[in-house]
Each structure stands twice: as C-alpha cells, then as structure tokens.
Amino acid sequence: MKITDLKCAVIGQNPVVRITTDEGINGWGEVESSKSYLKPHVLFYKPFLIGEDPTNVERVMLKIRRLGSFKPWGSAVSAIEMALWDIAGKAAGLPVYKLLGGKVRDKVRVYNGGVRFPMSGHTPDDYADNMAKMKAAPEGFTIIKQSIGFHSPMPRTVPDFFYGELQRGGFHPNRGPLTERGLKHVVACVEAMKSVLGDEVGLALDCGPGWMVPDAIRLAKAVEPLNVMWLEDLITGDYVPYVLADLYREVTRSTSTPIHTGEQIYLRQNFKDLIEKQAVRVIGPDPCDVGGLAELKWVAEYADLHSILIAPHGILDGLIGLAALVQVCATLPQNYIAFEYPVGRPEWWYDIVEGLPDPIVKNGFIEVWDKPGLGVTLNPRAAKKYLNAGDEDFF
C-alpha cells in the first residue's frame, strides 16, 4: 500500500486531514477548531508522505516529526499521525487500540470541558449557578473543569484583579502578580463551585497561564481543603512554547493540591523534565498537539513509571479527534484519570460524522467501540455543502 495524496480542508473551523492510498483506503485526522489557519502547514508535509506505506506509521513519522513544534505548529504533524493509524487499522481490520497494544479498559472516563452554558457574570454566585447546570447535564460527568484566573474573563471583569496593565486579545495574554482582592475572588469562586458539586463530582480548574509562583502557591494552599482535582497551566501552558519545569516543581512541592500542565507540549522529549523532576502531579498532553496517538501513549507510560497521573486535553479536537482520544485512552496505563470531552461545533458536525455512539457519553464514560481504524468517517454527501471554495476535490 502506498500513499497517493494528502488533502486538507477547513470544515467549519476544524482543518480536516484526508490521506488517500492506492488501495482505496482513506485515513482521517483533525486539527482543533481554533486553528483554521493551519491548512497550508498541513499541506507542507505532502512531499514527505507521497509513495510511503501508511501502515509503517513510525517510518513515516520519522520523516516529519522533527519538523513540527509546540502548539499550534505540532497540530499538523499530529493530525497526519492520527490519519496514518486510521489507515493502518482499516487495512488490518482492527480498531486502532489493538495496534497500540490493546485496551486495558472497556469504557473511558471523560471530564467536561466542552459542554458549556452561558455565564451571566463572574461572581461566586455566577460560578455556582453555572456549575449546577453542568452537574445536571445528561452526560452525567463525574469531573467538570472550569476556567478561572488568567484563563477566564476575571482580569477584565474583576476590578483591580492583578498588578499589571490589562492586555486585550485572544490566547490569554495577561500575566502578573495578583492583588489580595483578586486572589480572594478566585478562592471564593472555587468555594462556590465546590459547594454545588460536593464530593459527588470532581472539580478541575483551568487557571492560566500567567500566574507568578508566589500567587500560584497561595492559591494551591488556599484550596487544599476543597480537594480539587487539579490546578492547570498556572505558570505556562496554552500557546506558551516552553515548559519551565523548575518553577512548576517549586509550586508542586509546596502543596498537596495536584498541579497540572502539558496541553501545548510537542513530543515526548519536552515532557522529560516535567516527569523526571516530579514537577507536576498530572500531565495533560493533547493528541492533536503532542505529535499523535503513539506519542501520547509513550508520554503516559513514562509518566506512569514516575507515578504521575495523566488527563489528556482535547476540548477543541472535534469529533474525529474525539474518536482518536477514545482509541488511545483505552490503552493507557492505570495513571489515567479522564480525557477532556470535545464536542462538535457547529452542531451540524453530528450530521456529517458517522460511527459515533448515540448517546456518546453515559454516566461520564464512553464505551470503547471495535470498528476498524478510528471507527468514524465523514459522509461526503452530507459534508460537501460545508466545504469552502477551492476544496471541491477534497472527497
């Protein structure tokens, strides 16, 4: 079998990868919906793939892996790797999890990152009301993640939240020391959310990046009695192209609250310091950023050797990315907590992707399916009307 083409089309906001072969088997991959600009970067890799055997996944990846980089640029490589596994599974007549070593669980726990309800404000009462809605969601999530601090509108909506000049724009641009008022506001919001969830549902907190080490320590110690699942990306994280493991280690050693990071990190080599230095208690690689499914599993296994937990990121990975997360997370060792549940946006994504269970999530879990490859595919007839000009030949 040989690769004959690499195609990429932006469907909705998600760049979708399609690898074709001379035996008529297609492979699908997906880039996060926040990265519609990555189509040319995906196609950059086409000359490296043509003529290769897609079932030799590692051989193909050796040609392109070193050409990627931290979020967002590793997404192109990651989506291609995802599509290669899809082809390999279809060619073998096996689900991808069989090719990654076999499953160790029949259903995978997910945490709520994608099922959201509008917030009326950012007071403790607003956070409590919003958490009550998510707790009542039909998916029955056992863990819910909420954004606070620099990963939320708090710097804009809470007066005198931090000592610094407010920056506007996306990708969480603010960073600086918190005021006493700002820190107390964050803690009060966490307390309000836990009052709703009790000990029935775990609360994870997406915090930054942007915190200074002293404030990160103060927050972590202040919420110790609340038993939150983790504090995520306090120092670095989303769209930050470095790790700063030593700073994370200082925070981790100061508290019993689990500290978490890793969604932006590309490749196993860049997790090495975090893991070997015991810098965090939880890592959160994203299969659409870390370099793909096999890369994520390698990182998970190495973390397990060091007694570090894993909760893969995935909020914007789309429905093909969801299928990929189910396949790889079925194979992860017992340090696995849950992966972040992505949803299809716009809603018509559920009309063009075939193969997902209905409902997808039951009581906070997704049952692992046994269809070959990733187990999902795009319906060309349904999807064609959402293609942009210039992508007419995608299918």
Cis peptide before 357 (omega within 30 of 0): no
Neighbours of 72 (CB within 10 A): 21
Confidence at residue 169, expressed as pLDDT on a 0 to 100 scale: 83
Q: Strand, coil or helix: what is 360?
A: coil
Domain with CATH 3.20.20.120 in the chain: 98-373
Q: Which of 230, 199, 217, 387 is nearest to 313 (CA)?
A: 230
Cis peptide before 258 (omega within 30 of 0): no
pLDDT tens, 257-294?
999 999 999 999 999 999 999 999 999 999 999 999 99
pLDDT tens, 59-99?
999 999 999 999 999 999 999 999 999 999 999 999 999 99
Report CA-CA distances (Å) from 327 to 268, 289, 368.
19, 16, 7
| Residue 20 DSSP symbol | E
The dihedral through the CA atoms of 84, 85, 87, 92 has a sign that is positive
Confidence at residue 70, expressed as pLDDT on a 0 to 100 scale: 98
Burial call 118-155: b when 16+ CB within 10 Å, e when fewer: ebeebbbeebbbbbeebbeeebebbbbbbbbbbbbebb
Are 10 and 35 within 8 A, CB to CB? no
Q: What is the 3-class SS of 95-109, one letter each residue?
A: EHHHHCCCCCCCEEE
Flag whether pLDDT at 178 surpasses 90: yes
Q: In what order do the strands lie in the sheet with 3-11?
A: 3-11, 14-21, 27-30
Flag whether pLDDT at 381 surpasses 90: yes
Question: Mean pLDDT of all residues in the chain?
Answer: 98
**CA dihedral of 387, 71, 214, 130, whole degrees rounded to 10:** 20
Confidence at residue 288, expressed as pLDDT on a 0 to 100 scale: 98
Flag whether pLDDT at 387 surpasses 90: yes
Question: How much of the chain, in percent, has pLDDT values that exceed 90?
Answer: 99
Domain with CATH 3.30.390.10 in the chain: 3-93+379-386
Confidence at residue 38, expressed as pLDDT on a 0 to 100 scale: 97
Report CA-CA distances (Å) from 158 to 123, 202, 216, 376.
9, 26, 18, 44
pLDDT category, 326, cuts 50, 70, 90?
A: very high
| Residue 341 DSSP symbol | E
User: Rounded to whole angstroms, how far apart are CA atoms 125 and 353?
Assistant: 38
Q: Which of 51, 58, 49 is nearest to 18 (CA)?
A: 49
> Options 3.20.20.120, 3.30.1300.10, 1.10.3720.10, 3.40.50.150; which CATH number does 98-373 get?
3.20.20.120
Cis peptide before 214 (omega within 30 of 0): no
Alpha helices in the chain (DSSP H): 39-43, 46-49, 57-64, 74-92, 96-99, 124-135, 154-157, 180-197, 213-222, 245-252, 272-276, 293-305, 318-329, 349-352, 380-383
With tokens 């980089």, the residue in question is 69
Specify the CATH architecture of the domain 3-93+379-386.
2-Layer Sandwich (3.30)
pLDDT category, 170, cuts 50, 70, 90?
A: confident
Mean pLDDT, rounded, for 295-321: 98
User: Rounded to whole angstroms, how far apart are CA atoms 114 and 117?
Assistant: 10
Are 4 and 20 within 8 A, CB to CB? yes
User: Rounded to whole angstroms, how far apart are CA atoms 367 and 357?
Assistant: 8
